Amino acid sequence: MLGGTTEGREVAAELVVLGIRVVSSLAGRVSKPRMPEGEVRVGGFGGVDGLAEWLRAERAVGLIDATHPFAERISASAVAAAKQVGVPHLRLERPGWKEGPGDIWRWADSVEHAAQIVSGLGERVFLTTGRQGLAAFADLTEQWFLIRCVDMPAPPMPPHAVVLLDRGPYTVDGELTLMRRNRIDVLVTKDSGGTMTTAKLTAARHLGRPVVVVRRPPRPDVHTVTTPAEAVRWALALFPR
């Protein structure tokens, strides 16, 4: 299991209870990740060949890619490695968010595109796209940023910024308080999906604030499910009764 998401942890926990050996691989980008049930390895594989060799060495009977919707590099490696080894491969990806009544959304094709859009939407920005990609906003000198992430980001980043280290899930009341206290004009986020961080979208809607949403990158054409239950059923089908 290429994990790191809530859905991946749910699948691992269910399979472990059923007596199936699960090895969850975490990228290691978060200093204190939430650990899944079963065995865990941390760090990269060294590309497609490294992942393929690991699958052979572990005699894996299936590969579930349950990584973040924006972890496109490891997902591409998973497709190629599974094909190379001949291991069944599944992508577990939660649905993206959908704009609803009262939302003021601007869609961006990339983090760089989001930086271009946000420059004209307000002076105080709530930036929740994570540590990676902050360099895209480093040249925005006329705006103030509240940057929220799990671990301290490295430069470059916007010159006028405050970093808030925090981890979800968040509440609507908490997000409303945070955005009001910091006089936020615009929210920037990735289309991560899920429920852990949707409170910020609800808060922005209540406050009438625009939201810049970065679209998900294109994915390889592989068998994909959207719920942990579907992934568990797929995994169980790999084993004879």
pLDDT digits (tens, 9 = 90+) for 10-43: 999 999 999 999 999 998 776 677 889 999 999 8
Sequence ranges of the chain with CATH classification 3.40.50: 6-95+218-236, 105-214
pLDDT of residue 118: 94
Q: What CATH class is the domain 6-95+218-236?
A: alpha beta
pLDDT at 27: 82
Residue given tokens 């594989």 in the structure block:
45
Q: What pTM does this model have?
A: 0.89
184 within 8 A of 209, measured Cβ to Cβ:
yes
What local confidence, expressed as pLDDT, does residue 239 receive? 87
8 Å CB contact between 141 and 160: yes
CATH number, domain 105-214: 3.40.50
Average model confidence (pLDDT) across the chain: 94
Question: Cα–Cα distance between 131 and 154 in angstroms, integer?
Answer: 8
Above 80 in pLDDT, residue 234?
A: yes
Q: Is residue 227 predicted with pLDDT exceeding 90?
A: yes
d(CA 227, CA 175): 27
pLDDT attached to residue 31:
66
pLDDT of residue 158: 94
Q: Could you report the per-residue pLDDT of 115-153, keeping only the tens digit for each?
A: 999 988 999 999 999 988 899 999 999 999 999 999 899
* Span 87-100, average pLDDT: 95
Tokens standing for 169? 């899930």
